[in-house]
């Protein structure tokens, strides 16, 4: 699994609404690890969608504004492709992307959705039976209004991915306004068969409850809330988000569970991350992490 969680990919973890924290243990046999991952699937909330408990986030793929030292080249492309293939080889088949990852809107080189779609196509040529679960996200930009904006954005995402539907579609963050229309759009996407399940991301407890109730009226479960959650960032335990997810049966998906590489041991006070991450995970911050561990 370590190969899959390379510089080109970020891991995320699905909690499965368990109240206890599961420990991830390293095992010597890759074959054994892969078989266990395939068996260890979790259902997202009240939906029928089951995915591997570990997933791969494609935030860095094609990005040149936060990751990759502001450049994207053939070497990074090959590293991303190798990360994808290694992940699938290990049994990790849940991939999370977003329409803004690598997009021109954020001065990216190539859209992450486009890359993921290519990687899936290439893999299917070699292994037609492979099943990959794709999650992507809608950007709640201020000029986007109404449920139709969600459907239009989803269809554009599907075009980039080269898919007719995705397993999970999420609102990437709450909008400044128009949030009720966005939730309506999620429900429409389910009813039109464009997605198997819907979720939100970066939602507070109150927004989570509101989205859950609005979808519930249509008989559609809110499958997930994807939030920043790791051993060194435990805010969801403190702000009521995790408790609300447990209460409502909404799966909490933890993004950056290895803190953008910090918890892998790759970075030290003497060797901090480069680029914008270095402004967050400074030598002083990393010293505290080392001290706590």
At 104, the pLDDT band (50, 70, 90 cuts) reads confident
Q: What is the mean pLDDT of residues 213-238?
A: 97
**How confident is the model at residue 291, as a pLDDT?**
67
Q: Which helix (H) or strand (E) holds 161?
A: helix 147-161
Separation CA 212–CA 187 (nearest Å)? 11
Catalytic residue among 101, 203, 255, 281: 101
Separation CA 155–CA 151 (nearest Å)? 6
Residues 151 and 183 sit within 8 Å (Cβ to Cβ): no
Q: If 0-12 CB within 10 Å is exposed, 13-18 middle and 19+ buried, where does residue 28 land? A: exposed
Find all residues with CB under 8 Å of 151, minimum gap 6, and list them.
185, 188, 189, 192, 194
**How confident is the model at residue 28, as a pLDDT?**
40
Q: What is the mean pLDDT of residues 142-170?
A: 97
Question: Measuring CA to CA, which residue among 181, 177, 217, 215 is closest to residue 198?
Answer: 215
At 36, the pLDDT band (50, 70, 90 cuts) reads low
**How confident is the model at residue 154, as a pLDDT?**
98
At 38, the pLDDT band (50, 70, 90 cuts) reads low
Q: What is the pTM of this model?
A: 0.88
Q: Which helix (H) or strand (E) holds 227?
A: strand 222-228
Is pLDDT at 247 greater than 60 in this prediction? yes
β-strand partners of 198:
169, 222
DSSP3 helix / strand / coil % (the chain, rounded to 5): 40, 20, 40
Largest CA distance in the chain: 54
3-state secondary structure (DSSP) of residue 121: helix
| More reliable by pLDDT, 25 or 108 | 108
Is pLDDT at 10 greater than 70 in this prediction? no
| More reliable by pLDDT, 224 or 4 | 224
Average model confidence (pLDDT) for the chain? 89
Q: In this structure, what token pair is assigned to residue 105?
A: 């809107």
**How confident is the model at residue 16, as a pLDDT?**
57
Separation CA 257–CA 95 (nearest Å)? 15
Is pLDDT at 263 greater than 90 in this prediction? yes
pLDDT in tens, 44-103: 999 999 999 999 999 999 999 999 888 899 999 999 999 999 999 999 999 999 999 998
Q: Is 101 a catalytic residue?
A: yes
Is pLDDT at 145 greater than 90 in this prediction? yes
In this structure, the number of other CB atoms found within 10 A of the CB of residue 201 comes to 22
pLDDT in tens, 160-199: 999 999 999 999 999 999 999 999 999 999 999 999 999 9
Separation CA 268–CA 262 (nearest Å)? 8
Task: Kindly state the percentage of the chain with pLDDT values over 90.
Answer: 78
Q: What is the mean pLDDT of residues 32-37?
A: 57
In this structure, the number of other CB atoms found within 10 A of the CB of residue 257 comes to 22
Separation CA 102–CA 58 (nearest Å)? 9
Separation CA 163–CA 107 (nearest Å)? 25
3-state secondary structure (DSSP) of residue 6: coil
At 5, the pLDDT band (50, 70, 90 cuts) reads very low
């Amino acid at each position: 699994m370590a190969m899959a969680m390379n510089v080109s990919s970020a891991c995320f973890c699905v909690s499965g609404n368990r109240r206890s924290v599961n420990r991830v243990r390293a095992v010597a046999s890759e074959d054994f690890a892969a078989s266990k991952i395939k068996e260890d699937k979790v259902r997202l909330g009240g939906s029928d969608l089951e995915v591997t408990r570990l997933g791969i986030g494609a935030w860095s793929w094609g990005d040149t504004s936060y990751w990759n030292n502001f450049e994207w080249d053939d070497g990074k492309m090959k590293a991303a492709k190798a990360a994808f293939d290694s992940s699938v080889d290990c049994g990790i088949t849940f991939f999370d992307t977003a329409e803004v990852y690598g997009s021109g809107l954020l001065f990216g080189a190539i859209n992450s959705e486009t890359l993921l779609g290519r990687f899936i196509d290439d893999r299917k040529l070699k292994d037609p039976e492979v099943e990959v679960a794709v999650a992507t996200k809608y950007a709640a930009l201020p000029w986007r209004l109404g449920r139709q904006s969600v459907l239009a954005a989803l269809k554009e995402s599907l075009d980039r991915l080269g898919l007719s539907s995705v397993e999970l579609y999420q609102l990437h963050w709450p909008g400044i306004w128009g949030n009720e229309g966005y939730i309506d759009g999620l429900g429409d996407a389910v009813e039109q068969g464009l997605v198997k399940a819907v979720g939100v991301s970066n939602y507070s407890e109150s927004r989570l409850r509101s989205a859950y109730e609005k979808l519930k009226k249509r008989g559609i479960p809110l499958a997930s809330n994807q939030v920043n959650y790791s051993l060194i960032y435990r805010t969801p335990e403190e702000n009521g988000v995790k408790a609300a997810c447990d209460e409502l049966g909404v799966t909490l998906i933890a993004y950056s569970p290895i803190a953008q590489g910090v918890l892998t041991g790759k970075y030290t006070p003497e060797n901090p991350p480069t680029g914008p991450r270095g402004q967050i995970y400074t030598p002083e911050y990393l010293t505290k992490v080392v001290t706590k561990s």
